[in-house]
Amino acid sequence: MRLLSPRGWSLSLKLPVTITAVVAGVALTIGLAVLVQERARIRAELEERALLTARAVAATAVEPMLRSDYWTLYKSLVSMASGGEASGEDLVVTGMVLDSAGRVLAHLDPAANPLGLPLSLAEPEDRLWLAAVLRQDRPAISPGRRGKSDYVEALAPVLANDAPLGLVILRLSTQDLQARTVAAGLTILGLTAALAAIGSGLGTLISGRMVRPLRELAAGMESVGRGELHGLPPLTAHDRDEIGQVIDTFNRMAAELAEKKKLEQALATSEKLAALGRIAAGVAHEVNNPLAGMLNCLDTLKKRPDDASLHGRYLPLIERGLNRIQAIVHALLVELRTEGDESWDTGACLDDVRDLLQSEIGARPIRLIWDNAIGPDLCIPCRRVQQVVLNLLKNAIQAIPDSGMVIFRAYGGAGREVVLEVEDDGVGIAADALTHLFDPFYTSRPTGTGLGLWITYRLVESMRGVIEVESEPEKGSLFRVRLPAYATAPATAWGAA
Amino acid sequence: MLAATLAGLAAMPLPAIGREGVQFGLTAVVVRENIAFFERWGRYLSERLGRPVIFVRRRSYREIMELLETGELDFAWICGYPFVRRREPEYLDLVAVPIFEGAPLYRSYVIVHRDSTIRSLEDLKGKVFAYSDPDSNSGYLVPRATLARIRLSPDALFRISFFTYNHAETVEAVANRVADAGAVDSYVWEYLHRTNPALTARTRILHRSETFGFPPIVGRRGGDKGINAAMRAALLTMHEDADGKSLLAQLALDGFGAYEPSLFDEIRQLARRLSDPAVR
């Protein structure tokens, strides 16, 4: 089907086909025009020759006819009709000299047309023809037969002092004309074919020159599209035409893109370092806050070691502070923990998270809807995904002020991917908070570390997935994670993101 | 000045066309169209006579006879019929008679096309007939006398008759079926039968006449007496040398002989029977 539609054709086919068609069309048109003209010319020539011969016979026929010298009449008819060498014997179909009543005075076929008898005509149509031609008073090509029969008929009256003695009828075959037309037609066809072949060769050559740089350009653009900007050699422009200009522009664009990517990478590196700095500062700040309180407590306890009332007041404070530090450290360690030994399993391993969550919900009036539809044909890295799901679900539960609903959905998406959705009808996220949602130590809760979603983001990234958020304040939020899925565990473990 | 011009012309290697040497007229009694042969024969006779011999062709017998009478021609190969016509005064001498198949005799053939349905002279009724020459014995006189003998009037018998002025062309006319039948010199027919058998094969001999004196070679009386004798001597001895023999072979003749004018008495009687006023 693709071959039938010219829109689907490659340029390297379209161009030669077009050139061939144009060349062949032009050659054929000109050839046919010449053929038609040539045919008309040859026919006119034939008619002229027939007429000339008939007139010559008529001129020489006067004397023999007046003298009843039928032998001389016959001889002159034969010699004139057979004409020169070039005319050929096949050319003359028939020739005759009739008297004014239509009796044969000489005929090129004397055996069938006896001397002195009326011309034998079987068909009534022929008798009508004879009656018509006998009225002919001037040399002429028989009009009724023009173009109709396979011969040209010339009529020449034999006149003695303008008195009609009889009529010369000469028919020349048009078979030679047909043969010459056919031969000329074949020559034209041959020429057309030859020109078409040359045209298609030329077209192939030109299209080759045009298509090769275009293909290179397409390949180059594809590389750019994939982001493979390095190691892309500049394309060579062979001609200074439009294609050459496109190649130059492309080369410039690719060079600029490569430059831009380099800058971006440098920028990313510095951003990473800045982020690391921010994290370190955050950790220091977060750890430092409880530390100051705890050191105060310890100082007071050291001063008054026997004051039991202080124990009851300060020890829980110290414990809370240490717990907070532990939580921060745990959160920071999550990433390290999950790297290395990864356990690959089917989606069913996510159901373990459900039990953990029930204890998180406790007695709160929160409804958890669990819909894990990942089939056994898909394979996921369990621990990381569990961590991601747990983090998101915990956030969802925390986002619900009193009572509400949390929905977890997991399914195999389009292609080889796994989609995880966590939806709640909680407080939602403010628009300006959305932009900082995944920043480390960004939190909207007073007790939060601000590391949960950052870690989730890092985990998703480490699995080459993406995370999306849809949220409306006071209505709820939807977190959607898309992960590549595998039928079996991949041979190479993911490196650190 | 005119003499000077003529002398200048004579000095040129190619002579101008004109009356020069011995003029020898040819009629349809031989196949005149064999130019190469007559050139060779002319050279032969020129040598024998010591004077150039030029062959002269005319369409009809009558033209040749008139040229003989006016002295334009010195010799001619004519038919027996014009020979027996009365001349006042006589201006012809009988020089020699060709010998054909052993005798100075020939016949008249009535020929038809090979595929013709004509089986007898009676079948010629309503047909087209080709005579050779109105002054020909074999091509006109004999067939008419033959038909008259069986009480057929030639003028009423044929649908059309015409003259070809040439025995060879009479054969052609019949072979091409322009004419249904024709009268022809037996010598010419036999000669063509040897040289152009494809042509004669398309004809069939319907009737053979009795024999007549062969068309003779005549000379002008009252001219140069010596030349007539020289010509007779040259012709009568042609068969004695190789060159002459080969020429005779080409003519399909045995030789030439000297005969009396009485050889043509049968023709004279025939003409008389058809009430030709010009025959004594």
Give the model confidence (pLDDT) of B155-189 as tens digits: 899 999 999 999 999 999 999 999 999 999 999 99
Q: Are A171 and A153 in contact (CB under 8 A)?
A: yes
Give pLDDT tens digits for B124-134: 999 999 999 99
Of B128, B169, B176, the CB nearest to A114: B128
Helices A11-66 and A175-226 meet at what angle, rounded to 10?
A: 170
User: Per the domain annotation, does B5 fall within a domain?
Assistant: no
Same domain, B190 and B119: yes
- Least Cα separation, residue A29 to chain B (angstroms): 50
Same domain, B165 and B191: yes
pLDDT band at A486 (very low <50, low <70, confident <90, very high): confident
Give pLDDT tens digits for A403-460: 889 999 998 876 778 899 999 998 888 888 888 888 777 777 776 777 788 888 888 8
Q: Are A483 and A459 in contact (CB under 8 A)?
A: no
Q: Are B29 and B78 in contact (CB under 8 A)?
A: yes
CATH number at residue B62: 3.40.190.10
- Cβ <8 Å between A71 and B164: yes
Same domain, B180 and B223: no
- Cβ <8 Å between A70 and B162: yes
Residue type, position A448, single letter: G
**CA–CA distance from B123 to each of A78, A118, A292, B147, B201 (Å)?**
28, 21, 162, 12, 21
User: Per the domain annotation, does B12 fall within a domain?
Assistant: no
Q: Which residues in chain A are closer than 8 Å to B180, comparing Cβ atoms?
A: 114
Q: Are A381 and A454 in contact (CB under 8 A)?
A: no
Give me the DSSP letters along B173-234: HHHTTSSSEEEEEHHHHHHHHHH-HHHHTTEEEEEE---EEPPPEEEETTS-HHHHHHHHHH
Q: Which residues in chain A are closer than 8 Å to B158, comparing Cβ atoms?
A: none
- Least Cα separation, residue B129 to chain A (angstroms): 10
A-B CB pairs within 8 A amount to 40
Instruction: Give pLDDT, residue B123.
Output: 93
Closest by CA position to A353, among listed A405, A304, A408: A408
- Cβ <8 Å between A116 and B128: yes
**Interatomic CA distance for residues B253 and B247, integer angstroms:** 9
Q: Which residues in chain A are closer than 8 Å to B130, comparing Cβ atoms?
A: 71
Instruction: Give pLDDT, residue B234.
Output: 94
- Cβ <8 Å between A71 and B160: no
Highest mean pLDDT among A134-138, A198-202, A203-207, B93-97: B93-97
User: Per the domain annotation, does B11 fall within a domain?
Assistant: no
Q: Could you tell me what percent of chain A has a pLDDT over 70?
A: 91
The one-character DSSP state at A375 is -
Q: What is the mean pLDDT of residues A252-257?
A: 86
Same domain, B138 and B175: yes
- Least Cα separation, residue B120 to chain A (angstroms): 20
**Interatomic CA distance for residues A155 and A136, integer angstroms:** 7
User: Per the domain annotation, does B4 fall within a domain?
Assistant: no
User: Per the domain annotation, does B15 fall within a domain?
Assistant: no
Q: Which residues in chain B are closer than 8 Å to A110, comparing Cβ atoms?
A: 176-178
Instruction: Give pLDDT, residue B4.
Output: 47
Of A75, A111, A115, the CB nearest to B160: A115
Domain boundaries A339-484, corresponding CATH code: 3.30.565.10
Q: ipTM score of the complex?
A: 0.84
**CA–CA distance from A122 to each of A119, A128, B2, B30 (Å)?**
10, 11, 69, 44
**CA–CA distance from A198 to each of A11, A193, B143, B214 (Å)?**
18, 9, 78, 79
**Interatomic CA distance for residues B25 and B74, integer angstroms:** 8
A106: nearest CA in chain B? Answer: B178
Give pLDDT tens digits for A335-348: 555 555 567 888 78
Give pLDDT tens digits for A293-314: 888 888 888 888 888 888 888 8
Cβ-Cβ contacts under 8 Å for B206 (sequence gap 6 or more): B109, B110, B111, B112, B118, B119, B120, B121, B181
**CA–CA distance from A72 to each of A75, A170, A231, B130 (Å)?**
5, 18, 101, 12
Closest by CA position to A447, among listed A323, A359, A314: A323
Residue type, position A1, single letter: M
Q: Could you tell me what percent of chain A has a pLDDT over 90?
A: 14
What is the maximum alpha-carbon separation in chain B? 69
- Asked if omega into B89 is within 30° of 0 (cis), the reply is yes
Domain ranges of chain A: 51-175, 339-484
- Cβ <8 Å between B162 and A116: no
- Least Cα separation, residue B131 to chain A (angstroms): 10
pLDDT band at B1 (very low <50, low <70, confident <90, very high): very low
Q: Which residues in chain A are closer than 8 Å to B128, comparing Cβ atoms?
A: 70, 114-116
Q: For chain A, what is the mean pLDDT? A: 83
Instruction: Give pLDDT, residue A496.
Output: 41
B132: nearest CA in chain A? Answer: A71
Same domain, B164 and B245: no
Mutation site for B-interface testing, chosen from A63, A70, A105 by largest number of B Cβ within 10 Å: A70
Q: Are B124 and B118 in contact (CB under 8 A)?
A: yes
**Domain termination site, one of B209, B232, B261:** B209
**CA–CA distance from A345 to each of A336, A342, A390, B9 (Å)?**
20, 10, 17, 134
Q: For B50, how many CA atoms within 13 A lie in the half-sphere containing its CB?
A: 5
Same domain, B255 and B122: no
Of A71, A115, A116, the CB nearest to B163: A71
Residue type, position B263, single letter: L
B159: nearest CA in chain A? Answer: A116
**What is the rounded radius of gyration, in angstroms, for the C-alpha atoms of chain B?**
20
Same domain, B77 and B114: no
Q: What is the mean pLDDT of residues B212-236?
A: 89
Of B173, B177, B180, the CB nearest to A71: B173
Same domain, B57 and B94: yes
- Cβ <8 Å between B177 and A111: yes
Closest by CA position to B69, among listed B42, B48, B90: B90
Q: Are A173 and A108 in contact (CB under 8 A)?
A: no
Same domain, B90 and B127: no
CB atoms within 10 A of CB A286: 19
**Domain termination site, one of B209, B242, B257:** B209
Q: Are B212 and B137 in contact (CB under 8 A)?
A: yes
The residue segments making up the domain with residue B153 are 108-209
Q: What is the mean pLDDT of residues B57-86?
A: 92
Q: Are B198 and B248 in contact (CB under 8 A)?
A: no
Pairing verdict, β B22-26 and B75-77: parallel
- Least Cα separation, residue B197 to chain A (angstroms): 20
Higher pLDDT: A186 or A136? It is A186
Q: How many domains does chain B have?
A: 2
- Cβ <8 Å between A74 and B180: no
**Interatomic CA distance for residues B231 and A347, integer angstroms:** 143
Pairing verdict, β B75-77 and B217-220: antiparallel
Backbone angles phi, psi at B158, to 5 degrees: -85, 145
Same domain, B33 and B76: yes
**Interatomic CA distance for residues B78 and B216, integer angstroms:** 6
Which residues of chain B are at the A interface, by a Cβ-Cβ cutoff of 8 Å? 113, 128, 130, 159-160, 162-165, 169, 173, 176-180
- Least Cα separation, residue A123 to chain B (angstroms): 24
**Interatomic CA distance for residues B90 and B220, integer angstroms:** 9
- Cβ <8 Å between B177 and A110: yes
Give me the DSSP letters along A225-270: HHT--TT-PPPPP-SSSHHHHHHHHHHHHHHHHHHHHHHHHHHHHH
Q: Which residues in chain A are closer than 8 Å to B164, comparing Cβ atoms?
A: 71
Same domain, B187 and B218: no
**Interatomic CA distance for residues A402 and A407, integer angstroms:** 16
CB atoms within 10 A of CB B180: 25
Residue A9 has pLDDT above 90, yes or no: no
- Cβ <8 Å between A70 and B177: no
Q: What is the mean pLDDT of residues A175-189?
A: 85
- Cβ <8 Å between A114 and B180: yes
pLDDT band at A208 (very low <50, low <70, confident <90, very high): confident
Q: Which residues in chain A are closer than 8 Å to B160, comparing Cβ atoms?
A: 68, 70, 115-116
User: Per the domain annotation, does B218 fall within a domain?
Assistant: yes
- Cβ <8 Å between A110 and B176: yes
**Interatomic CA distance for residues A475 and A404, integer angstroms:** 11
User: Per the domain annotation, does B14 fall within a domain?
Assistant: no
Residue type, position A282, single letter: G
Q: Are A203 and A18 in contact (CB under 8 A)?
A: yes
**Domain termination site, one of B162, B192, B209:** B209
Cβ-Cβ contacts under 8 Å for B239 (sequence gap 6 or more): B245, B248, B254, B255, B256
Ramachandran sector of residue A147 (left: φ over 0; alpha: ψ -120 to 50; beta: rest): left
DSSP, collapsed to helix, strand or coil, labels residue B74 as coil
Give pLDDT tens digits for B15-42: 555 556 899 999 888 888 888 999 999 9
Give pLDDT tens digits for A10-60: 777 888 888 888 888 988 898 889 889 888 888 888 889 889 999 999 999
Q: Which residues in chain B are closer than 8 Å to A74, comparing Cβ atoms?
A: 173, 176, 178
Ramachandran sector of residue B13 (left: φ over 0; alpha: ψ -120 to 50; beta: rest): alpha
Of B162, B165, B176, the CB nearest to A68: B162
Instruction: Give pLDDT, residue B18.
Output: 53
The two three-digit tokens of residue A65, written as one number: 């006819």
B131: nearest CA in chain A? Answer: A71
User: Per the domain annotation, does B13 fall within a domain?
Assistant: no
Positive or negative CA dihedral for A57, A63, A66, A71? negative
Instruction: Give pLDDT, residue B42.
Output: 93
Domain boundaries A51-175, corresponding CATH code: 3.30.450.20
Give pLDDT tens digits for B233-243: 999 999 999 99
pLDDT band at B11 (very low <50, low <70, confident <90, very high): very low
The one-character DSSP state at B141 is I
**Interatomic CA distance for residues B237 and B244, integer angstroms:** 8
Same domain, B128 and B184: yes
